[in-house]
Each structure stands twice: as C-alpha cells, then as structure tokens.
Structure 1
C-alpha cells in the first residue's frame, strides 16, 4: 500500500478472475485505510472482501457496482455507510459487523434481495419496522449492539431459516411475533435482560437450537413443548425454579443445560426426553431426583455438581455402569 495521500493499493493476488474478467476482490486484513478507487472501475465484480481493515469510509461508487452480490466489511472503522448502498441491485450478502455504526441508512431496507445481513458489534440502539421488507433474509445477526427492544415486524421475516442472533443486547422481552418464524433453525438471545419468553415461541416448529443463557428468565412457558424439532436448549444462568411438565414433549432434545438456575424440582415427564445425551444441573437447588432420569436410554452425561442432593439414589450407580458419566 502506498503511503501519504496516494492511491491505496490492493495486495498482490487480491484479484480473482473468471473468463478473463475480474469478479472478486479478496483483500481481508490487508491494512487498507482507504478503499482503492480502482475497485469502482471493475464493473464485473460480484464479491468484495475487505474484512479486518482500517476503513473509515465506503465510497458510494462501490455501492453502484451493477453485479455485486457479496460485500464484506466486518471489523473496520466505519461510522456510516452511504445511502447508495440501498440501491445495489443484486446484493445478496452484506456484512457490516464490528464497525462503529450507530444507525444504518433508511435505504438499506430496500435491499429486498438480501439473504444474509450482519450488523453485529456496532452501537445500534433501535431497529426500524422497515426491517420487514427484507423478506428473503435467511440469516440476521444483530448481536452485541445496544438494542432494548425488537419491532414486531421482525416476525414478518418469513424467509429466516439459518439463524437469528440477538445476544449481547439490552432486551427485556421478545415479541410474540417471533412465533411466525416457523422455519428458523437457530435463535440466540444470550446475555440480555429477558425475564421470560413469549408463549408464541412454541410455534417456532423448525427451531433446532435455542440459546438463552445469562438472562433473568424465571420460567419457561408451557408452549415450549411445541418445539418438536429442538435438539439443544441452553438456559444456564437464569432464575428458573421449575420446568413445565411440557418439557417431556421434546423427544428430540439431545442437550439440556440448566446449570446455575435455582431449580427445586424436575417433573416426572422428563422421562419423555428419550434422545437426551447431556443434562447439566450444576448448582441447582434440587434435594431429590426423579427416577425417570434412570430410564433415559441415551443419557451420556449427567452433571450434578454443586447441587444440594444429600442422598444419592442407587440408580446413579446403574447409570454409571452402563457408561453414563455422572458427576456429583
């Protein structure tokens, strides 16, 4: 890269060609402080990767590239992005995470063709209702911002299938409209201020992984039993005193993490967790365990450390003999 006020230069090997035309710029972690002006002249570009540079400004000309479908700007120093970015006709994948954005231009929500959007690790305090326009989004990352609420319109993102990441914000509640995201595979809402979950969460029939650790949740809704596809439920570090009996309907659940909750009892319906491999109850206030745990055919690890169980049931030995790791 040239010093001073000269043109920023791309590192060697940054240009990728196909059919004699430059179709991609791969210049991640190249120490760039400016986007080289030459990039805007490459009209056939489909992909630009400038992750991990020192960029403080994105030229509007780059946003106007007619064939651009992937723009990666993660971990730069951007405080704003040009309005013209909302006019990129073919943009499918946009990463603006780990910058210094306090807001994004309103025209960004015109990008109806977007499939993935990463806005994590910025300083966003609100999300406009226009987010609903991005109806083809498969992945949305809003983690580690300063959001204290989500608009109900998030539930209109019917195309969300891969994941919705909300961790590390200031959320005290999740909207009931999330129940409309019936094809979503992964929901991460850890490290917020949630005191509960919406009843409609049980309508998220496609959910396979739910991460809620380090919140202030006092109970799981009865509707949790509707998550028939759920494989992992992580709810460590909350304030859950008991589980709803509907937990036993999660026959596909493989990993249940409840460590650090003031759990006082487990319902006998846990016998329905026939695919459970790992159960973490560290620090619970249990004084007894249901014998139903001994009947779980696939249980590989049961962690009971730092619980208040004084009399260890005899069937714990049977679990060990069949190969289950039991920690007390």
Structure 2
C-alpha cells in the first residue's frame, strides 16, 4: 500500500495513520508540483532548515517534527491531526490559505512556523494548543486574531509582522509568558491596554503601523531590551519611557517627533538610539547620561547644534548627523574621541574646524554635499581614516595631504 514511500520508514514502527498522512501529503504536493519532493528523516534540530523536501523528525517510532517549507503547498490535509505527538510544524513559504480546523487537536504542539503564506484567519481551536511556545505568522493576510489566542499561556514568541491587522484582541493580556512580540507592518491605530500587562516582554516591535499615540502604560514593560516604534505617526512620546531601564535598542525613526522626553536619560543600558526622519530641532541636555551609547542616528532632522553634554558619551562609536542644518562643526564633537564613524553629509557646513582632528580613531568621514571651500590639514591627526567623502562641496583645489591619505590606503572621494 505504501510502495511510494520507497521503504523510507523501514526499521521504524510508524503508526499506520502517520504513514497514510505522509502519503496523502506527498500526493497533494505532486498535484501542484509534478516533480514532487523527496522525503527525508532528520533530527528535530535539523528540520527547520529544510527546503523543497518533506522533512520528518522521529522519536520513539512517531513523527514529532514536520517540515514542508517552500513546497508549493496550497492546503494541509485534515489528517494532520493524526500526528498526535507532533511538537514542531514548519510550513513557511507555501500558499496556504487556512489551517485545518482540527489543528487544535495537536495537543503536544510547541512551535508553528507558517511565515509567508496566504493565511487570512486562524481557527478558533488554536487556543487548545496549550503547550505552544512559538507562533510565527509573518507575511500573511491576517486581519484579526481570535480571542482564543489568549489561551496560549505558554507562548513566549508571537511573530505577526507584515499582515493586515487593524486591532489586537484584549485577550492578549493573558499571554504572561510572552518574551517577544512583533506586530510591525500592520494597520494598527491603537494598542490594547492588555499589552502593558505583559511584564516579561523583552522585545516589542510595533513599527510600520498607524499609531498616533503611545500610552503611558508602556512604562510597565520594565524588562524590555528592544523597542521599535519606527514608521508611525507619533508626535510625542510618553514620559514613562524612562522607566524602561533595561532597554538596549530604541528605534523611533520616521515619526513626527519635535523633541524627546528628558526621562530618556534614565535608560542607562541603551546601546543604540535611532531618531532619524523626525522633526527634532534640539536634543535634551541629559542625553549625556546615556554613558553606554554606542550608536546615535539623528539624520533627516532640523538640528542646528548639539548640547555640550553629548561630549560625555565616550563609548560612542557611530554618529549620524546627515541632512540637518549645521553651518559649523559643533565643538562638542572634539570630545567624542571614541568615534570611528561620522556622517555629516547634506548639511550647510562652510568650514571644517580643527575640532575634527581630535577624532583620532575615525575610520569613516562623510562630508558630502556641504558648502566647504577650504580644508585644514588633518593628515597628521586622522591616521586611521579608511574612507573620506568630500564630493559636492565648493572646494576649488584639493590639498596635498589628501594625496598622502590615499598613499596610506585611505579611499578619498572628491
């Protein structure tokens, strides 16, 4: 009866219902893909990397892991429910429009990876998967989640990036074990109050939505290490952001911010801060308290100066200031001696002061599209430069020291 399986499972006492499922699955794939796909037996750790194969992980003569990634599959057989010991299901990169209604009967399921399909809804029975820890649904067509999602009390990872959701259910508040949630690139206008009850969250991605307000409740997520607010419609930020003292990465580019709350100075663990593409005219002076900051991105704003307190950021390695309104180099730059990357392109710089010569660790310097006429001799100071870009300025003749930089291996664009 199972000649088509080529004796692959010889030596295993696989239940008859599981063999039937594998045969039905193979026939389904062959109906859309005449070439078919091979069946391979792998460990549970290996099946996540399978492509164009039916990957099976076996333990104690039963299927515990199933991978059908990028196989052109349009539907899963209802007989999937016969894999009663299944712990991992990988169906990323197919054309699935729905899960079998019996999905909820797979009571041992711990992880579902179904990114990049055509799923428009989840079955209500998904709430019966009480052991589920990871649910990956990026790149689908979901418009909503069932309220039963709140029954997945063991869930630690919920990935919903790039769907079409306009609301999240209040039942999300019951997912108290959640560590990582991504609902970026959806159509959310508001966030449920229950979201702020997920006190174990380490990662929150709400970027690329239509949020115009961020509630003070976000300050309750005190375990956050990464927060992505980019590409929304925020014009202010709540003071309570300053309570996120474990935060290491903060993204808030492409909003409508005119200033930042001074309470951000409390984020002593912050490593990366991205405020690009906003309407900032000043920085709060207390930014100097962010002693661990390594990278600061401020391009595409309306800055004309920097606070003197910025000079205390001795760990800062990258500073991005392009597309602002600087007419002179801020003196404070000279104190940032750890800088290796400085981008000042598309400003209004008229001259280059010797301040820049104090940045002896600089390897990349971008001064494109300013109004520079002459350059001071910096060849003896910036010995580590690997690339300097001076194009689109008003420099009549380029000094000899630029040639010396090139002879030392530096790429010079002029």
TM-score, normalising length from structure 1?
0.92
1:135, 1:156 within 8 Å by CA — same for their partners in 2?
A: yes
SS at match of 1:292: coil
2:176, 2:197 within 8 Å by CA — same for their partners in 1?
A: no
Counterpart position of 1:133: 220
Distance in 2 between the 1:60 and 1:15 partners?
23
Distance in 2 between the 1:270 and 1:10 partners?
62
Counterpart position of 1:271: 357
Distance in 2 between the 1:190 and 1:66 partners?
37
1:220, 1:243 within 8 Å by CA — same for their partners in 2?
A: no
Alignment of 1:294-313 (within 5 A): 294-313=380-399
Measured against aligned partners, the alpha-carbon deviations of 1:167-210 in whole angstroms (never above 9, x if no partner) come to 11111111122122121111111111111211111211111111
Measured against aligned partners, the alpha-carbon deviations of 1:70-126 in whole angstroms (never above 9, x if no partner) come to 111111111111111122121111111111110001121111111000101111001
SS at match of 2:365: strand
Counterpart position of 1:37: 124
User: How far 1:157 sits from its partner (Å)?
Assistant: 0.8
Measured against aligned partners, the alpha-carbon deviations of 1:138-160 in whole angstroms (never above 9, x if no partner) come to 00000000000111211221010
2:120, 2:141 within 8 Å by CA — same for their partners in 1?
A: yes
Measured against aligned partners, the alpha-carbon deviations of 1:201-233 in whole angstroms (never above 9, x if no partner) come to 121111111111111111122222111111111
Counterpart position of 1:76: 163
Distance in 2 between the 1:58 and 1:204 partners?
38
SS at match of 1:179: helix
Of 169, 174, 192, the match for 2:278: 192
User: How far 1:267 sits from its partner (Å)?
Assistant: 3.1
- Asked which structure has the greater CA Rg, the reply is 2
2:121, 2:143 within 8 Å by CA — same for their partners in 1?
A: yes
Distance in 1 between the 2:148 and 2:340 partners?
49
SS at match of 1:274: coil
User: How far 1:129 sits from its partner (Å)?
Assistant: 1.2
Counterpart position of 1:16: 88
TM-score, normalising length from structure 2?
0.73
Q: Which runs of 5 or more residues in structure 2 are unaligned?
A: 1-73, 90-106
Counterpart position of 2:293: 207
Counterpart position of 2:27: none
SS at match of 1:210: strand
User: How far 1:9 sits from its partner (Å)?
Assistant: 6.4
- Range with bigger deviation, 39-48 or 239-248: 239-248
Number of residues of Structure 1 aligned to a counterpart in Structure 2 = 318
Measured against aligned partners, the alpha-carbon deviations of 1:14-54 in whole angstroms (never above 9, x if no partner) come to 9617xx93110111112111113342211100000011111
1:46, 1:68 within 8 Å by CA — same for their partners in 2?
A: yes
Of 348, 353, 363, the match for 1:262: 348
2:292, 2:315 within 8 Å by CA — same for their partners in 1?
A: yes
Q: Does 1:230 align with 2:302?
A: no
Distance in 1 between the 2:170 and 2:76 partners?
25
Distance in 1 between the 2:173 and 2:328 partners?
47
- Range with bigger deviation, 260-269 or 145-154: 260-269
Instruction: Answer 1 or 2: higher relative contact order, Cα 8 Å, separation at least 6.
Output: 1
The root-mean-square deviation of aligned C-alpha atoms, in Å, is 2.0
User: How far 1:293 sits from its partner (Å)?
Assistant: 5.0
- Range with bigger deviation, 202-211 or 309-318: 309-318
Of 138, 145, 149, the match for 1:51: 138
Q: Which runs of 5 or more residues in structure 1 are unaligned?
A: 1-7
Distance in 2 between the 1:126 and 1:10 partners?
40
Structure 1 158/178 Cα, relative in aligned 2: closer, same or farther at 3 Å?
Answer: same
Counterpart position of 2:410: 324
Counterpart position of 2:329: 243
Counterpart position of 2:265: 179
Of 216, 228, 232, the match for 2:302: 216
